[in-house]
Amino acid sequence: PIKHLPFEDVTYWDELVELMDWAQTNVHSTFGVCWGGMAMIYHFHGIQKHILDAKAFGCFNHKNMDPSSPFLNGFSDGCVIPVSRWTEMRREEIQAVPGLKILVDSDESGPCLVEDPAHRALYIFNHLEYDSGTLKEEYDRDVANGVPINVPMNYYPDDDPSKPPLNRWRSHGHLLYGNWINRIYQTTHYNLDEIGT
């Protein structure tokens, strides 16, 4: 699993670096999700991912750190977001880089959404794009394969895997990706040769 490997040890790292660099002059905005977001923030800013002692797995409370951000239009002050990862990005390391801004954060699971204006990018380390049953599918897969796994926290009613999970993040997921697409529409250059200038 690539999540446990140093980025440079991933077999397609060189190709991914080429793609990330190419995007700087050919793509108006990028959005890195989970490992992809970690890879982007590492490539552009040298911020390392850190292996967790136990998998961060479940639905965790998050805070809206910048209600004025156009990417967070319509967001509540707090929201629940699915998390499923063996690694983390550390708040103090992100905050040490001028220009990076943590938009959504969690006391329980750490930084979630980071804006990188210099690279016209967003990095999200958690999973607002998940369907209602995605964590259940991951949990059932690991149980069936005999992989040690905890019941995803705050996901099933009463933490009972026999009950159907409730989706408490769908509206914020639609808001985030809709806001991102709207921002692209509002700010894309008419002359595509100006991308990256």
Q: What residues act catalytically?
A: 34, 127, 129
CB distance 124 to 130 below 8 Å:
no
* Strands annotated E in 19-131: 30-33, 50-64, 78-88, 101-105, 113-116, 121-124
Chain centroid, CA 47 distance in Å: 15
Q: How many CA atoms lie within 13 A of 96 on its CB side?
A: 9
CB distance 99 to 87 below 8 Å:
no
